[in-house]
Chain A
Amino acid sequence: RKEVEQDPGPFNVPEGATVAFNCTYSNSASQSFFWYRQDCRKEPKLLMSVYSSGNEDGRFTAQLNRASQYISLLIRDSKLSDSATYLCVVNPYYTGGFKTIFGAGTRLFVKA
C-alpha cells in the first residue's frame, strides 16, 4: 500500500460547483496532515492544515478521520482560479525523523 494515496482525477467541474477530494494514508502513527496546491510547473504551496476536529478556511473545508486513515478536502463555489493539482501531505513521525510525504495529487479543472 502506498504511503499516501489519492485519486489522480482529473475532476472537471463548472464554476460554482462543490467538489471533494479524498486521500488515504498507510501509517496510523502519522501526526501531521496538510493539503497543498500545486500549479503547473510551480512549487507546492500550503493550502491548509488538517485537524481531527475538521477545519474551514473560506470555501475550503478539510477533515481528518484517524480511525479510517482518511483525509478529505471540500471546495465550495469553485472558481476558475481553483484549477490546480491538490496534494495530500502526511508527516509520518514513526521514523523518528522529519519526512513529509506527498501524494501524487488530484488534478482539478474548473470550467466557465
Chain B
Amino acid sequence: EPEVTQTPSHQVTQMGQEVILRCVPISNHLYFYWYRQILGQKVEFLVSFYNNEISEKSEIFDDQFSVERPDGSNFTLKIRSTKLEDSAMYFCASSDMTGGNEKLFFGSGTQLSVL
C-alpha cells in the first residue's frame, strides 16, 4: 500500500538553528500538508500546498516557516530559526482529492526537539 514517508523520525536541534523536515508524499497525490502536534495537544494545521504554491496557511506558519517541493517528489518544511516552542511532532500528509473528497494520508511524523 502506498504511504507517506517522513525523515528523519527524530530531530534534535539547538535553539536558533535551522531545520529541514522531509516528506515524500504518495506519488499520485497533488495536495500536500504539514501539521504539528505539541505533546498532549491537538493536531494543528500549518500549511497546505498545491500546484507548487501555498494554498492556505495558519497563524502558526509565520516568516520562520517555509515549504518547498524541490524535485517533484520531496516536500519539505523549513524552520529558519527554531524556538523552544517549536518542539512538537510534525506530520506531513497528502491527498488526491478524488471526487472532491479530501482524505488525508499521514506520514509517521518527525519528532522535533529544540533545546
Contacts and interface: CB of A to CB of B under 8 A. Distances in A.
Contact of B42 (A32, A98, A102): A102
B100 interface: yes
A34 B48 contact: no
A31 B35 CA distance: 20
Q: How large is the interface on A (under 10, 10 to 19, 20 to 34, 35 or more residues)?
A: 20 to 34
B42 A104 contact: yes
B108 A42 contact: yes
A44 B56 contact: no
A45 B106 contact: yes
A42 B106 CA distance: 10
B65 interface: no
Nearest to B44: A102
Interface string B15-28: 00000000000000
B55 A105 contact: no
Given A43-B107, A46-B104, A97-B56, 19 more contacts: A34-B103, A43-B106, A44-B91, A44-B106, A45-B106, A46-B103, A46-B105, A97-B55, A98-B31, A98-B48, A98-B50, A99-B48, A99-B56, A100-B45, A100-B104, A101-B45, A102-B44, A102-B45, A103-B42
Nearest to B103: A46
Contacts of B45: 99-102
Contacts of B58: 99
A87 B102 contact: no
B75 interface: no
Contacts of B106: 43-45
B91 to A, nearest CB: 6
A103 B43 CA distance: 8
B91 A43 contact: yes
